[in-house]
Structure 1
Amino acid sequence: MWTRGEYWKTLTCITTCTLTDNPTYIWYKNGHKVKEDTSSLYSDSFSDADSYSCAVKNHEDHHSPAVCLQVKVTGGHQDKTLTCITTCTLTDNPTYIWYKNGQVVTEKTSLYSVYPNAVDSYFCAVKGHEDLHSPAVYKPKTSVSVSPSGEIVEGSSVTLTCSSDANLPVQSYTWWYKKNGGDYQSMTGPQHVFSQIQSSDTGEYYCQAQNEMGTDRSRTINMDVKYGPRNTSVSVSPSGEIVEDSSVTLTCSSDANPPVDKYTWYKKNGASLTGSENTFLITNINSEDSGEYYCEAESIYGSLNSSSVSVDVQC
């Protein structure tokens, strides 16, 4: 008898022969002895490709049939053919039972044709031995994660990982991404590492995992790379000659994500000026206002000064 656990399975060696007290059981894996114990139980992490049998010590020539049942998948992209394969000793013309999502769907030959989708799983059993059914096969159930979690700051190391819950091995992982509104591009592999991520890496990312049952797509990650102020500059309006008693506006511009939240204005060789907006208005300007002006743009990710501009007031 074979009972299934979440990760491990337990085999029980059952015999109808008359045995002495406390017999010793011998367990075989793929024809090789792996355990000898007085317990009739054997627990292990089982692979679909392995077969197991047991015998009572001193009666090794009367070992049990091997326990091994699995589903082989063949076919194209529209449809798949499932084949129930067993190494157990069976009667002639056994009846195979096919299950979809744990429910019996047909009793027929060892072949079963399906159109797999993202949620359905399939397994098989031999009639009369339903407790020895195969592991389930299904399309990958794909997810994606970002490390470290939280905000992504320019210059840091970021790893995207594509993972999949799939009983059948994943044959390929493909990442699809679209940066700053461009076209989608692809890259392969379960992981993608940005050793020093840049603002140009901002965009949409998702991955696809493929196995013999088909392909599944993860959710889309909108990766937003944060960075401090850069390209800070000052412009003067109106441009050209500045006449005494006119009004002049200085404007501080800076590229930052998130946007700059504080501006500080300075007159060269003087103290900082009043105001924290990105514009600085000088009304009724006079010759004493002539000089070099610059600004400082500041956000939570840093600050950056502009180069200075010259304001020359004509009398």
Structure 2
Amino acid sequence: VTDKGIYSDIVFSPGLQVKVTGGHQDKTLTCITTCTLTGNPTYIWYKNGQHLDESTSPQYNNSVSSNYEDSYSCAVKGQEDFLSPAVCVQDQSCSRVTYTKRRICVLKGSTVNISCTYVGYYSTTSTFWFRSDKSTPEDLTRDPGYADRVQYPDKEIRRYKGPSILRITDLREEDSVEYRFTFKTDNFEWGHRFPGTTLSVTVLQVKVTPAAEGQKTLTCSTTCTLTDNPNPTYIWYKNGQRLDEPTSRQYSVNSYYSDSYSCAVKGHEDHHSPAVCVQGQYCSRVTYTKRRICVLKGSTVDISCTYVGYYYTTSTFWFRSDKSTPEDLTRDPGYAGRVKYPDKDRWINKGPPILRITDLREEDSAEYRFTFKTHNIEWGHSFPGTTLSVTGLQVKVTPAAEGQKTLTCSTTCTLTDNPNPTYIWYKNGKRLDEPTSQQYSSNTLVVLGHSVDSYSCTVEHHEDLHSPAVCEYELNYCST
């Protein structure tokens, strides 16, 4: 039995292997283990990633294929996630998938690469990654829940074999699931039920426990051990200010009512824990309503948070995190006439501080943070805030059927308040009003590709924010 983890991630695996014996036409497969299994286990056999048969014997007694492309693997019933590596019956060019890691634990908000290598005996026609909990395997790049967050670096499909990487950014707790890779050839499709890589997305939490009289012990914890950093260096914050001394998982503090603490791990300072109070629930802290926002160029956005200052607040303002010195945005010449603090007179009584930016520009894309001062503290400038992405609409032109072009209206990120918008198309500056046709509310439009017409698009409720016009035929000679 092998210990595969620590803390709460203890998994026991029988260390299965498939042993191939016999001649060219009469192969025998045996599922062997590194230790004797208790009870009377049932063995499960797989061929080319597809469930094949079950038996109480560790030997596969049915006819074994002598084809060069076929691979076999085995598992024990009840432990299907811990199957043996796939082995070739004849040579080493048979079809198989090998995952680099079977389990991965990463921080919420970070980026992960999940990878595997694959071999397809015949030329590969398609490849993609999917979630194992979907009833029908769906390419993650087409899943709305992963919009703008999934990439396949080096996507080029290799003819027979190669590495494949699934990259997921801005990880969320609901991304915790098993991910699998599949490929197709002209002869078969690699099994969807074959176990893949299980991803666990964890958040940092500060736990407060009593210590000596007048003291508390703070513990920075995760629900699983970080895969790429099992023994991290910890960073602690007091009232939003970084503490340079403590680097361990635990930290002892005096229990003052006004103080809040949070933690992070080195290398991931943007993904810190929520601030917790040492005593009671009225300590100083800031909580952002949204950590990421995507909006259209030219529109208006409200960025908000809630805050608590244990003592009387003397000043409050919003600023851009990329400034060397925090500067109140209402005094920044780059935002002149475009920044407002609605209901600022309520902020002094802990009303929700709202930053409103109008006539948004692409250069407004940045992280925005809120800070406040009391007679005792100034909330830390280094604490992560809300990241704003400002996107324009663009029309992309691609060939379709003969004599036709496909126009696609797109943004660089998914609109926060309207992730599935209704699109509106314009031809030569005039709206295409076809309410009974779904075609005209889609982000794609198929048109004839031999005229001099121009097209642009927008989204419903933002009709004044058009994309630049493009021509379906000759870019320099279309109507405007």
**TM-score between both structures, scaled by the size of structure 1:** 0.41
Query: Which has the higher Rg, Structure 1 or Structure 2?
Result: 1
**TM-score between both structures, scaled by the size of structure 2:** 0.29
